[in-house]
Chain A
Amino acid sequence: MRQSKELAARSQEQILKTVEEIKSAIEAAVPGAGAEVVPNPGPAAQHSLRFAASSAIAVATFLRDDPELAFDFLSNVTGVDWPDKEIAEKVKVTRQVLKTVDGPDGKVEQAVEETVDETRKRIEPGCLEVVYHLYSVAKKHGPLVIRMRTGNRTDQVELPSLTPIWRAAELQEREVFDLYGIVFTGHPDLRRILMWDGFKDYPMRKDYVEPDDYEYEPTAHDHVLARAQGHRSREQGTGISDQDSSAG
């Protein structure tokens, strides 16, 4: 048992080293790839490489065609939603405060510097991420995890499709488009795959609201009506009618 743990620990170090080696190999082959190592803090230690969307095709071609790396097998493609996060952090703030101080001529108001703790809230903008797991059939190694991020979750959701490099991405990128709303430019046949064509909204997003009713004809049961009351304001805010996205 102990031996296997040591072995596992050693192989984890090797994996990290390999990811960094791959990163430098990518940077040598594709200038300006903008690759960065995303460490995985968990025990699995499958560290990943994130790179800029603009260089994705060049990097993917290099990873597939390089004889040393030979990542010819794209196993898994998936999306991850990272919504806007409100982060509260404590900051030390120094400011001038007027205080009454004992002076030589009695009490005087004087500006004094004082340091206080203040909680500041800032919103970290969210994004959509796509994760690819690569293996090599020729060299029998892997996985190499690569990821890309969109600019935001609303209007900059385009990423280059890797289907021209690996056919394996064809149906899986369609699924990511269907459930997360990432638009893959260069995909040969980007349509909804699991949901129907008239469906609006993206069900795997964290802020997705389920429709009130899945029936073709809306039913007026009490629990359906109560749910409908509950998010009428959301419909007015977003313009997405939940009834539209139910069956039809």
Chain B
Amino acid sequence: MTPTETKSERAAGWNRPPVVEPGGEGGLLEVAMGPHHPSTHGVFRMDVALDGERVIKLKPVFGYLHRNHEKIAEQASYLASMPYTDRLDYFCSLTNNWAYALAVEKLVGQEVPERAEYIRVILAELTRIQNHASTIGFLLQEMGASGTPLMYAFREREKILDLFEGLTGSRMMCNYMRFGGCRVDVSAAWLDATRKVVAGLPAFVNEFEALLTSNEILMARCQGVGVLPADLAVNAGISGPMLRASGVNYDIRKVDHYGIYDRFKFRVPLGDHGDIYDRYMVRVLEIRESIAILDQALRDIPAGPIMDVKAKIRGFRPKPGEAYGRIEAPKGELGFYLISDGSPNPYRYRVRPPSLINLTILEDMCLGQNVADVVLIFGSVDIVLGEVDR
């Protein structure tokens, strides 16, 4: 690397074309990375064919954590699936709750009181911050920065999880949203504690960035690696920070204006190369925008009820019909598709998992890269196996 080289020149050099023909004398080496591999974030396998160090084929293998969540939900009442949605992406139970509640509210035409909408926004943005911080921590862990960045991230995450525990009774399995509002009201003391945590977050992001953003190793490992072109990203249904790192301006909070997101001022960070570094950078900037949303929400939150008075709790039977509701979860577009036949349990219950669909292009990003970079590319997708396999 010469000092005069620009980022894009380096990107062009790093993005080698895929090697299709096996070269050398030894032929191909087939490696099963996983299902028990420290970089796979759970039980996930990549069957990789290598020519020397280079990846020439990669097939993901799913299903080790499959428990047919959808079938189980079709045999339970609508509300009974709410705690089960916590277990999809167990880092972000509150956004899972919100996506499910939103879909059911669309199905029955339920309205949500203003205070509950504010609480939902506050919790969703806190979830986004702790998810993005942990993702970056894990990415650095996989890069060889053993422990330190992850512990910095987990220190902040722990503060946020304490807030979740104070409000919902559980750190990760929150089970908090209801159709037409939220389960319990936030107290003034909880809001004060949240303001205090949020006030400390910019210092954390600054510290995190000072350590990482211009770190030479991070730049060398991430820039120009695992490039995802914008047109392929859109065609393959990629969503969330992955899509925006490729330069596509599509944030469901801005497009659908679900909840009350049209009331807040925030920007949508975009990448311009679509490599791992851009995915890292987009996540850091999204943390900053989430802090801005939190400041506004905590300033404006009104008094009032947290459940709609007309919300039906007992004997909940939606009229026949169907609805697809989606939100911008930290990992991408999380959607729920429900068909009601008028009975107490859904006729069809479908989760649109961003983690699974963002893996569609894993092979495209890895072809021609070194096998050591596969771990980083996979880490930059940000998946949770509980949601991939359902």
Contacts and interface: CB of A to CB of B under 8 A. Distances in A.
B321 interface: yes
Given A76-B324, A133-B335, A137-B250, A43 B109 contact: yes
A43 B63 CA distance: 35
B268 to A, nearest CB: 12
Interface in A23-57: 40-44, 46
A167 B236 CA distance: 4
A208 B75 CA distance: 13
Contact of A137 (B66, B71, B111, B234): B234
Contacts of B167: none
A63 interface: no
Interface residues of B, number: 44
A74 interface: yes
B337 A170 contact: no
Interface stretch (A116-124, A193-201, A224-232): A193-201
Contacts of A193: 62-63
A117 B332 CA distance: 57
Interface in A100-136: 131, 133
A75 B335 contact: yes
B321 A73 contact: no
A172 interface: yes
Contacts of B360: 167-168, 170-171
Contacts of B324: 44, 46, 76, 133, 143, 145
B363 to A, nearest CB: 10
B296 to A, nearest CB: 21
A66 B290 CA distance: 36
A44 B63 contact: no
Nearest to A166: B235
Contacts, number: 114
A204 B68 contact: yes
Candidate in B106, B237, B356, B357 with the most chain A CB atoms within 10 angstroms: B237
Contact of A43 (B236, B238, B321, B390): B321
B172 interface: no
Interface residues of A, number: 38
A80 interface: yes
Interface string B64-91: 0010101100000000000000000000
Contacts of B357: 168, 171-172
A161 to B, nearest CB: 14
Q: Is the interface of A mostly helix, strand, loop or mixed?
A: loop
Interface of A: 1, 4, 40-44, 46, 72-76, 78, 80, 131, 133, 137, 140, 143, 145, 166-172, 175, 179, 192-196, 203-204, 208
Given A42-B321, A194-B389, 16 more contacts: A40-B323, A41-B320, A43-B106, A76-B335, A131-B337, A133-B324, A140-B250, A143-B324, A166-B235, A167-B235, A167-B236, A167-B237, A168-B357, A171-B360, A179-B70, A208-B71
Interface of B: 62-63, 66, 68, 70-71, 106-109, 111, 232, 234-239, 248, 250, 255, 318-324, 326, 333, 335, 337, 339-340, 348, 350, 352, 356-357, 359-361, 389-390
25 contacts: A1-B111, A40-B321, A41-B321, A42-B318, A42-B322, A43-B107, A43-B319, A46-B324, A72-B234, A73-B250, A76-B337, A133-B337, A133-B352, A137-B234, A137-B248, A137-B250, A166-B235, A167-B235, A168-B236, A168-B357, A170-B236, A172-B357, A194-B389, A194-B390, A203-B71
